[in-house]
Amino acid sequence: MKRIFVLFIVLSLLPLTLFSQKREIGKVKTVVIDPGHGGNKPGAMGKHISEKALVLSISKKVGKLIKDNYPDVEVIYTRTTDKDIDLSERARIANRAKADLFISIHANSHPTSSPTGVETFVAGLSQSKANMEIAKKENADILLENDYKTNSDYQGFDPNSPESYVLFAMYQNVYRDKSLTFAQLIQTEYKKNISTIDRGVKQAEFMVLYKTTMPSVLTEVGFISNPTEEAYMMSEKGQNTIASCIFRAFAAYKAAEEGTSVPEVKSEPTADSTATEAEEEAVAGSEQTTTTTEPAEEPAVEKPKPPKPKTTANGDPYTPAKPKPAAPAPGAPVYRVQFMTVSKVIEKGASELRGITDFDRYQQGNYYYYVTGKVATIAEASELLAQVRGKGFKDAIVVAYLNGHRISIQQAREMTEKR
């Protein structure tokens, strides 16, 4: 609780430093585009694509539209490849650039395939449990960061702890009005151009938005868990339309801020900037800087012929055995993945388990919590989380236990690092 109090003090003093940033009043000259997730944080998993790959492709289209229509506007991406960027670093990229606008692009998900729609968030207090759960899910990426414990930007914040969210109630964002204006412009464009549900503008406790010192929004461009919306978001037409909506909102916001009329604008990217997951894997290890103003061009090189696959003595394909993760030491914390919460008992082999056979069930009140896996490190837990989400459990989370009792991820990491 002491760390949370310290974080509150830091956040409460933050507005006092905002005005020391030298921005040109009334001008929108620098925009930061933040494709959500990346690297070992895939985000939500659809049947055919991950959130991290989908939003990277859309983000590049938004950035290209801005550059095509406003050559004098600097466009900065928090990532341009399948790279893992900490939430705190995403905000620092924007703050260092003294950006005039921050746009974080995500895709929504739900345990069932029926929900659809688009919505845009600003920093604020959740007005519903559903909004809080979305914020928790996005903030949970913090727990997968290697320096979570030592990162002074978080100071003990635990995304899964309701106690941690108390500090947001005492924090006033001086850019909330402008953030709300831009968010509404985005939703207006969605409503005019996309045949889906307008879920509106909402407030929620997104850490990345609280850390930015400029008008900031997080927009959910559709439900990747809905097959129809996933197909639309993966299509060239769908991505161009979504990118055009966000861009046109940007153009309207810029014109209003600068007291000018909206100029004639190109409504679609002038070149294909769609990124597939395979293309992302090809550049995942690049050393490209996160503050690149344009996605880097890959040099044209002749691809070497793949080596002849190894075979066994019988001529069967040879697959090297993947080393099993080390079992947690006795008395040490155990990381697991909680993949389902329901009000009934589900037996082994049931279709609802989607092939997961190694699991435990815990009851609390009228609900049963289903968990799988037992690993010793947060890195192994991150890999397991991606596998479970790949089976269709989009809202699965990493949890920690000590001697059979649930503890916070923060407690587990502190205990693990002391050993």
pLDDT in tens, the chain (419 residues): 444 444 444 444 444 344 334 445 578 999 999 999 898 888 889 999 999 999 999 999 999 999 999 999 999 999 999 998 887 788 889 999 999 999 999 999 998 999 999 999 988 765 545 544 655 555 555 455 555 545 545 455 555 554 444 444 444 456 788 889 999 999 999 999 999 999 999 887 677 777 788 899 999 999 999 999 999 999 999 999 999 999 999 999 999 888 888 877 766 655 444 444 433 333 333 333 333 344 443 334 444 444 555 554 555 554 454 455 667 777 788 889 988 888 889 998 899 899 999 999 988 777 788 999 998 887 788 888 888 888 888 778 888 888 888 877 767 777 766 65
Residues 6+ apart with CB under 8 A from 30: 73, 74, 76, 97, 98, 99, 100, 101
Task: Give, to the nearest 10 degrees, the angle between helix 236-258 and helix 227-234.
Answer: 70
> Topology of domain 2-283, per CATH?
Aminopeptidase (3.40.630)
Q: What is the pTM of this model?
A: 0.57
The DSSP code for 387 is H
DSSP string, 148-207: TTT-TTTTT--TT-GGGGGGGGG---TTHHHHHHHHHHHHHHHHHH--S-EEEEEEE--H
The strand pairing partners of 35, in sequence order, are 105
What backbone phi and psi angles, to 5 degrees, belong to 245?
Answer: -60, -50
Shortest CA distance to 333 belongs to which of 415, 225, 245, 258?
A: 415
DSSP 8-state symbol, 216 = E
pLDDT value of residue 281: 35
The reported pLDDT for the residue numbered 313 is: 52
Rounded Cα distance, 269 and 279, in Å = 19
Q: 381 and 335 in contact (C-beta within 8 Å)? A: yes
pLDDT for residue 191: 95
Whole-Å CA distances, 126 to 133, 153, 158, 175, 333: 9, 22, 17, 17, 32
The reply to whether 2-283 and 334-418 are identical in fold is no
Task: Give the type of residue at 356.
Answer: I
- Kindly report each contact of residues 144-151 with a partner whose C-beta sits within 8 Å and lies 24 or more positions away, as own/partner: 144/40, 144/41, 144/378, 144/381, 144/382, 144/385, 144/398, 145/86, 145/87, 146/379, 147/86, 148/378, 148/410, 148/413, 149/410, 149/413, 149/414, 149/417, 151/86, 151/88
- Using a 10 angstrom Cβ sphere, with 0-12 exposed, 13-18 middle and 19 or more buried, the burial of residue 379 is middle
Q: Cα–Cα distances in Å, from 44 out to 111, 217, 376, 405, 418?
A: 10, 19, 24, 28, 32
User: How confident is the model at residue 77, as a pLDDT?
Assistant: 97
The residue to which tokens 């070497």 are assigned: 304
| Axis crossing angle, helix 51-69 with helix 236-258, rounded to the nearest 10 | 50
φ/ψ of 383, rounded to 5, equals -65, -40
Domain segments of the chain as ranges: 2-283, 334-418
In the three-class reduction of DSSP (H, G, I as helix; E, B as strand; rest coil), residue 336 is classed as strand
Q: Are 41 and 146 in contact (CB under 8 A)?
A: no
pLDDT at 200: 93
Say how far apart CA 218 and CA 179 lie, in whole Å. 10
Fold for the domain defined by 334-418: Alpha-Beta Plaits (3.30.70)
Tokens of 361: 């069930």
Give DSSP secondary structure letters for 296-335. Answer: PPPP--PPPPPPPPPB-TTSPBP-PPPPPPPPPPTTS-EE
